[in-house]
Structure 1
Amino acid sequence: MLRFLATLSPLQLWLIFLAENLLVTILALLFGWLILKLSNKPIKGASRNEILTCLLTNAINTGITFAGYYLFKHNYISLTFEINWYILLDFLLLFLLMDLAMFIFHYLIHHSVIYKAIHRFHHHYADPIPIDLFVLHPVETIGFGSLWLIILTLYGFNFYAVLIYLTANVFFGIMGHLGIEPVPASIRKLFPFKYLGTSSFHHRHHLEIGYNFGFYTNIWDKVFRTYKP
């Protein structure tokens, strides 16, 4: 696949990466819609502004994907392709590193003038629906994407661990923007679920912006005392 990509022009690469991002978005929204359907919750339609912003986010994410490929092609990002147990270790390392990095980034946004200028746009939707995962200010989308690329340059992660992480990233994002909690409380009390960022955990952040800044886990919120059940 990588050899095939190396034969393509920049325009062809851009179109392939755009199609990839749009496909991921469509599958993610279908997954969110299915959960809401199974939960018998009335499904609120997306506004025109949400749809347009979602498309813009996809365009920006395409640029980030292109930048990531460029960095990989020029050896700024190193990936391994062996299939072994290191895949799990690399995934866990990437999962926790990105969770900490995004917690810090998210916390700093909320405690600076950036919130009023940029992040408040996302918090306009206190009762989110799945598409709101992709409803971000363009500057914020670029910020998260840049953070992702920086993490990748720090260590030679396994390629398959990266794929698993990206899948988990979309899963947690959709779960956090359902507007309902599909996981029973009895399960959320068990290990490892009690440490994960559930739908109600992130929904609480949309309702009370001073708490629950984590994305995948609630670990950092508990450590830095910004956790609220």
Structure 2
Amino acid sequence: MVAAILLSALAMSAIVGVRYLLASGSFALATRIRQPGLYRGLEKQMGREIGWSLLSALIYGVPAGVVAWGWQARGWTRIYADVGAYPLWWLPLSLLLYLALHDTWFYWTHRWMHRPRLFRIAHAVHHASRPPTAWAAMSFHPWEALTGAFVIPVLVLLIPIHVAVLGCVLTIMTVMGVSNHMGWEMFPRGLVRGPLGGWLITATHHQRHHDHYNCNYGLYFRVWDRLCGTDKGLGDFKKVDG
């Protein structure tokens, strides 16, 4: 049993690492095409980002591997494959619920990481990316990586979710994490500056966090930032596309 769990953990770490390389590599390539020269002179920084991110992938993969083994071998989780097991309305609702709970955890742990002592110990690694690039989304100190590694594994133990919806959650997490750090805005100005953009995290919104540190802490939504008075808007992001 121990060997099977270790194998599952290593396999998931490899999957998370490959997912990171493919996602960040794709957005880095898009940046090279759409914003040529934006990352010029940042080669050493990007190398550090990749190193920290692959270490984070290893950390993220361990609880994910344990949960994957538990799902297949023991039925521990609330992940289900039969689309008829729950009402169809639960599919979109579970997606929004997972995103909202993940966003809540991220907001408060992220804000906690900005306390001076914790920032020096851990979160400074992420903010060492100046400016952040498409490779920076998972560039975390191991202590910070640990705060994020258990969120989805814990949720799948508690809240039912279809395996395809879980795939959507992981895809949204990956795409938003990478695109919000790549240094330019891929969404059109009309969306970013419009009503929908007033509630969603975009690169324009998150870049302001990296510029000022004490605001815009969210991951997917601006709800907690708005409720807690930490939303400082979009600012003047010079690399907004469209």
With structure 1 as the length reference, what TM-score do the two structures score? 0.87
The aligned amino acid for 1:60 is I
Counterpart check, 1:28 vs 2:23: yes
Across the two proteins, how many residue pairs are aligned to each other? 223
Give, in angstroms, the shift of residue 150 of structure 1. 2.6
Aligned ranges for residues 1-229 of structure 1 at < 5 Å?
9-44=4-39, 45-47=42-44, 48-72=47-71, 73-83=73-83, 84-111=88-115, 113-229=117-233
The aligned amino acid for 2:109 is F
Give, in angstroms, the shift of residue 191 of structure 1. 4.0
* Residues 80-124 of structure 1: CA deviation (Å, up to 9, x unaligned): 223344221110111111111111111122136212211111111
Q: CA RMSD in A?
A: 2.2
Q: Separation in 2 of the partners of 1:69 and 1:58?
A: 16
Deviates more, 1:169-178 or 1:39-48: 39-48
Identity, in percent, stands at 21
Listed as ranges, the gaps of 5+ residues in structure 2 are 234-242
The aligned amino acid for 1:80 is Y
Give, in angstroms, the shift of residue 57 of structure 1. 1.4
Give, in angstroms, the shift of residue 186 of structure 1. 2.0
- Contact 1:87/1:160 (8 A) holds in 2: no
- Contact 2:27/2:134 (8 A) holds in 1: yes
- Contact 1:81/1:159 (8 A) holds in 2: yes
Q: Separation in 2 of the partners of 1:60 and 1:77?
A: 20
Q: Which residue of 1 aligns with 2:236?
A: none
Listed as ranges, the gaps of 5+ residues in structure 1 are 1-5
The aligned amino acid for 2:27 is G
With structure 2 as the length reference, what TM-score do the two structures score? 0.83
Deviates more, 1:173-182 or 1:22-31: 22-31
- Contact 1:46/1:131 (8 A) holds in 2: no
Q: Separation in 2 of the partners of 1:147 and 1:113?
A: 23
- Contact 1:180/1:199 (8 A) holds in 2: yes
Give, in angstroms, the shift of residue 145 of structure 1. 0.9
Q: Which residue of 2 aligns with 1:3?
A: none
